[in-house]
Structure 1
Amino acid sequence: MLLRNISLFLLATIILAACELEETNINPNDPTDVPVTVLLPTAMEETAENLSEEAAVIAGIFSQYFVGVDNRALTVESYLLDEAFNMNPIWQDFYNGPLNVLNIIIEKSEAAQAPHYAGVAKVLMALNLGTAASLWGDIPYTQAFQGGGDFSPDYDSQEDVYRSVQALLDEAIQDLQSESTLSPGDDDVIYQGDLALWAKAAHALKARYYMHTIKRDAEAPAKALAAMANAFQAPGEGLVYAYGFTEAEQNPWFIYFKNTPYVEIDAYFSDLLDELDDPRKDGFIRRSFGLERVGDFYAAEDASVPIMTYPELKILEAEARLRAGEGGAEAALQEGVRAHIQEVTGGISDTELDAYLDAHATLDGDGTANLRTVLQQLYLVHFTQVEGWTDYRRTGFPELEPNPDGSNPQNPGGGIPRRFIYPQNERLFNNSFPAENPNLQDRFWWDAE
């Protein structure tokens, strides 16, 4: 859309005029005079990009969707992260990008008594905060957006950030149902102003972030199920960012493989699809000149970026029902898998689809085996997403073998990494930085042993 391109140009101009690397925490990008109608599509696109660029590449190597074959990705393959070249850009993309812009939208919307805009922004703020906390653990939040008033914001504990995520989503749901002086329309490039779908997305994200905490909260599955009752009810309702409105707007994975083709598909993932005779393989994987890279469903020039989808929700429902001892897990699993296969393949025959569900999405009564079946399908649905690595860390599935030569001072013991290290700029310029940078095996709050 033209509006989206104008918003990106305006914000890019502001950022180029103001941004200094050492000021990551004070967020110098201060578009106070830009209206929320321009800021909103910018925040949406930046969110989609953050969820499908370098963070997803690193998480994909750790979760064995990808194998690093060149440049920095080859180092990541050995479980080494560079605090400058790997971490600085990702951290800045979150804080100088959507987190800062969304905070401005929330403040401007509340001042203008426009809770519909605030509600949408809070959904996206919760998503970005939850993702960042799942990568680094403790992160700045409550003091992170004070401009020049605080160059060294304190780190909120991961537990507190997750509480904030749930609170933001609850506030968003309330805001979206309130009277508002202004409501999103065409500037909402995800749902085109459908506030009911934003409320469903908020409930779906509540379920996701409850399920992140299953090691800490025995009631998390029940809480997730309660949220799911008001979340997506059909495949077309998912939170998905569409590309391809103009020739200048290209899918992030398409750009990645065009400009920096440093990863290929891990043999583990490719072999799993072959073992399952999975009809999604051609959508997942593109073969060219003997190489396997991300397929067109995710990496075509105009492919959409999945953020929180109906298939994910239904398979999480199946997991939650198993953990809570409730019935209906198989029906939820099969609905999620069916919807995802139809999305990725563009549609296959009912006979072929039923045969796949019978073979790979049927629960036989054995608790561990049933959970493994559900989580295997969740692993497939989360291909290209940070959530695939999160699933491994919170559940132990799939049962991955660590990459060889992964033992080093940054990753003692050589196991699959449990977290990101913090960026160099934080260590050098934030006086509230932790006493030392954690290693990749240091577990944070929700990843308790």
Structure 2
Amino acid sequence: MKKTNIISTLSLSVLLIFTGGCKKFLDVNTDPNNAVDVPANLLLPGAETGLTYALGNTLAINGGIWAQYWTQNPTSNQYNSLDQYVPAQGDFDNVWLNLQVDALENLQKVVEKGNATKQKEYVALATILKVYAFQLTTDLWGDVPYSQTLQGDAVTRILFPKYDAQSDIYDGLVKMIDTARNMIDVNDAVNPGPDDLIYGGKMDKWLRFANTLKLKIGLRLAKKDAARAANIVKSLQGAEFIRPGESAMQNFNATGGQQNPLYGAIAGPVLDKTQNLVASSTAFNFFNENNDPRIFAFYGPAPNGNFSSIPQGSFGNPPTTIVSPPTAITGGDANDPQSAFAPVRVMTDYEANFLQAEATVRGWLTGTPADSFYNRGVRYNFAAFQVDGYGDYIVQDGVKYPSTGTDAQKLEAIITQKWAAMCGTQNIEAWTEWRRTGFPSFFIVSQGSIIGANRMPGIFLYPSSEMTRNVNAPKTNHFVYDKVWWAQ
């Protein structure tokens, strides 16, 4: 086996050119309500970065802890509240604004400018990412603004959009993704280039991304409304999904303001390289007990040179406790400058195969057998992080695809391996899949929990900024252990 060392460094100097050297990495305009003269190619990089910043910062931390990859280091206390399951409303203000303003509002500006200038590939790309951002938002908070948000223009924009039911939002997402898919013309000479920080304007890749996103949308509803889910997934029969080696991600570099968002936060002046995030025994033991060489890709040696973990939420251990940190490939090693280069993964080739495996087990996609997708999902994940030993790993009794098992056993194997593959790099998606399926089945209640009754987090709290600003926001908040509509 070999340990991963992220060295891919697509320079973001392109972004600085396109944003005119703005001081803030996400800024694209001085006044976002007067962006009518900003062309689509200048708006797109900031919009994409608004999305990846949300994924790579707050959502990486919350998801990393609640998906039980990481826990709070006993030597510090920055994320105690997450392990205690008592985040504050204000903890969600920044990520809400990242998604609503930095991502969605700027993506809408790309759509508007693309329509005005007949640049339909920009419109298609931005619409696809709007679907991704809306799904992410509703999956985290449940009912959110959808039908009225982003409506109107700089003068007539609806400032206080109503909240839509999550079921209705999902109907809208399917229609929106189909509109975008039908809009793509891979032979269109007018398309994004290096201003697209994810795929470099390759519209064939965006089409496969869109198909994979629609597949994910359909499967999200599998337990809540199987018939509805089946119709969505079956409409993709014969479609192409994300291919090997074309995972959708944004790369970063070591320049201040252009670093991996998680590393930029934990290595910045506030946290000053304090290593708050360390290995949770839930994930660490899974890799160890299954002789999984990826353990050395996702977790590094502790300061004493050993590899070790602690149970979820056991931050009350003596501060002398020494625990393995995440590796630089996650952006989570505060003391390894290579963390700055860690890409933020939006969707991956291995995720696409696990999705197809599930759809095949459910009988909603036909052709390739489910075990082929399962094996590819694991193999592509090993390849993504340059880990040797796939052949020995996949034939183990506790790992190999349960071909003679029940559908329930097959689905558990698929989702559990998807969770393993996403360790430290697609944290929020892994937590969402656990909320949807209950897999992995070996999660424990955090030892630090103070909410009782064996409850675990199931939803984000509405941010205090939104509840005080938007008169149409819910009058009362969720409890953190409540569930979104599709999880009930």
Tell me whether the two structures share a fold, i.e. TM-score over 0.5.
Answer: yes
Change in Cα spacing, 1:54 to 1:302, as seen in structure 2 (3 Å) is same
Aligned letter for 2:170? Y
Identity of counterpart residues, as a percentage? Answer: 25
Aligned letter for 1:83? Q
Write out per-residue CA displacement over residues 291-318 of structure 1, whole angstroms, 9 at most, x where no aligned residue.
Answer: 3222133323212221111100111211
Q: Which runs of 5+ in 1 are unaligned?
A: 20-27
Report the counterpart of residue 299 of structure 2 in structure 1.
Answer: 285
Instruction: Give yes or no for contact 1:318–1:332 (8 Å, CA) kept in 2.
Output: yes
User: RMSD over aligned Cα, in angstroms?
Assistant: 2.6
Counterpart pick for 2:279 among 265, 278, 292: 265
Q: Distance in 1 between matches of 2:94 and 2:143?
A: 18
Q: Distance in 2 between matches of 1:334 and 1:281?
A: 19
Report the counterpart of residue 390 of structure 1 in structure 2.
Answer: 432
Aligned letter for 2:460? F
Q: Distance in 2 between matches of 1:271 and 1:253?
A: 24
Superposition pairs for residues 274-353 of structure 1, below 5 Å? 274-289=288-303, 290-299=322-331, 300-324=339-363, 328-344=369-385, 346-348=386-388, 352-353=389-390
Q: Distance in 1 between matches of 2:41 and 2:300?
A: 38
Counterpart pick for 1:357 among 383, 386, 394: 394
Report which stretch shifted further, 51-60 or 417-426: 51-60
Change in Cα spacing, 1:143 to 1:226, as seen in structure 2 (3 Å) is closer
Report the counterpart of residue 141 of structure 2 in structure 1.
Answer: 136
Q: What is the deviation of 1:245?
A: 8.6
Instruction: Give yes or no for contact 1:67–1:264 (8 Å, CA) kept in 2.
Output: yes
Superposition pairs for residues 180-191 of structure 1, below 5 Å? 182-191=190-199
Q: What is the deviation of 1:233?
A: 5.4
Instruction: Give yes or no for contact 1:238–1:309 (8 Å, CA) kept in 2.
Output: yes
Report the counterpart of residue 79 of structure 2 in structure 1.
Answer: 73
Instruction: Give yes or no for contact 2:47–2:107 (8 Å, CA) kept in 1.
Output: yes
Q: What is the deviation of 1:257?
A: 3.6
Write out per-residue CA displacement over residues 392-448 of structure 1, whole angstroms, 9 at most, x where no aligned residue.
Answer: 11101112121135243xxx6341111001000122121111131111222222111
Instruction: Give yes or no for contact 1:112–1:181 (8 Å, CA) kept in 2.
Output: no
Instruction: Give yes or no for contact 2:145–2:163 (8 Å, CA) kept in 1.
Output: yes
Q: What is the deviation of 1:324?
A: 2.5
Q: Which runs of 5+ in 2 are unaligned?
A: 1-11, 304-321, 332-338
Change in Cα spacing, 1:179 to 1:373, as seen in structure 2 (3 Å) is closer
Give the TM-score, by structure 2 length: 0.82
Write out per-residue CA displacement over residues 65-118 of structure 1, whole angstroms, 9 at most, x where no aligned residue.
Answer: 11134444111110011111x111111111120111001110111121111000
Superposition pairs for residues 34-49 of structure 1, below 5 Å? 34-49=38-53
Change in Cα spacing, 1:355 to 1:180, as seen in structure 2 (3 Å) is closer
Partner of 1:188, secondary structure, is coil
Report the counterpart of residue 456 of structure 2 in structure 1.
Answer: 416
Report the counterpart of residue 25 of structure 1 in structure 2.
Answer: none
Q: Distance in 2 between matches of 1:39 and 1:185?
A: 13
Matched, 1:403 2:446: yes
Change in Cα spacing, 1:276 to 1:256, as seen in structure 2 (3 Å) is farther
Q: What is the deviation of 1:11?
A: 8.5
Counterpart pick for 1:115 among 111, 120, 140: 120
Q: What is the deviation of 1:192?
A: 1.7
Instruction: Give yes or no for contact 1:314–1:336 (8 Å, CA) kept in 2.
Output: yes
Aligned letter for 2:449? G
Q: What is the deviation of 1:161?
A: 1.9
Partner of 2:144, secondary structure, is coil
Partner of 1:301, secondary structure, is helix
Q: What is the deviation of 1:181?
A: 8.0
Write out per-residue CA displacement over residues 210-237 of structure 1, whole angstroms, 9 at most, x where no aligned residue.
Answer: 1111122214256436537423353122
Q: What is the deviation of 1:29?
A: 5.5
Q: What is the deviation of 1:323?
A: 2.4
Q: What is the deviation of 1:2?
A: 2.8
Aligned letter for 2:135? G
Q: What is the deviation of 1:45?
A: 1.9
Q: What is the deviation of 1:169?
A: 1.5
Matched, 1:32 2:52: no
Aligned letter for 2:101? N
Q: What is the deviation of 1:284?
A: 1.0
Instruction: Give yes or no for contact 2:351–2:418 (8 Å, CA) kept in 1.
Output: yes
Q: Distance in 1 between matches of 2:141 and 2:262?
A: 23
Matched, 1:428 2:468: yes
Report which stretch shifted further, 254-263 or 95-104: 254-263
Change in Cα spacing, 1:37 to 1:240, as seen in structure 2 (3 Å) is same
Report which stretch shifted further, 256-265 or 302-311: 256-265
Q: Distance in 1 between matches of 2:137 and 2:95?
A: 9
Aligned letter for 2:223? K
Instruction: Give yes or no for contact 1:14–1:29 (8 Å, CA) kept in 2.
Output: no
Give the TM-score, by structure 1 length: 0.89
Matched, 1:377 2:417: yes
Aligned length: 432
Q: What is the deviation of 1:164?
A: 2.2
Aligned letter for 2:124? G
Q: Distance in 2 between matches of 1:297 and 1:66?
A: 14
Instruction: Give yes or no for contact 1:123–1:169 (8 Å, CA) kept in 2.
Output: yes
Q: Distance in 1 between matches of 2:291 and 2:170?
A: 38
Q: Distance in 1 between matches of 2:234 and 2:404?
A: 21
Q: Distance in 1 between matches of 2:224 and 2:372?
A: 27
Change in Cα spacing, 1:404 to 1:45, as seen in structure 2 (3 Å) is same
Instruction: Give yes or no for contact 1:135–1:420 (8 Å, CA) kept in 2.
Output: yes
Write out per-residue CA displacement over residues 263-307 of structure 1, whole angstroms, 9 at most, x where no aligned residue.
Answer: 222111111111111121121112241432221333232122211
Change in Cα spacing, 1:169 to 1:421, as seen in structure 2 (3 Å) is same
Select the structure that is richer in helix.
Answer: 1
Change in Cα spacing, 1:273 to 1:29, as seen in structure 2 (3 Å) is farther
Superposition pairs for residues 159-178 of structure 1, below 5 Å? 159-177=167-185
Change in Cα spacing, 1:14 to 1:216, as seen in structure 2 (3 Å) is closer
Partner of 1:437, secondary structure, is coil
Report the counterpart of residue 251 of structure 2 in structure 1.
Answer: 242
Report which stretch shifted further, 148-157 or 42-51: 148-157
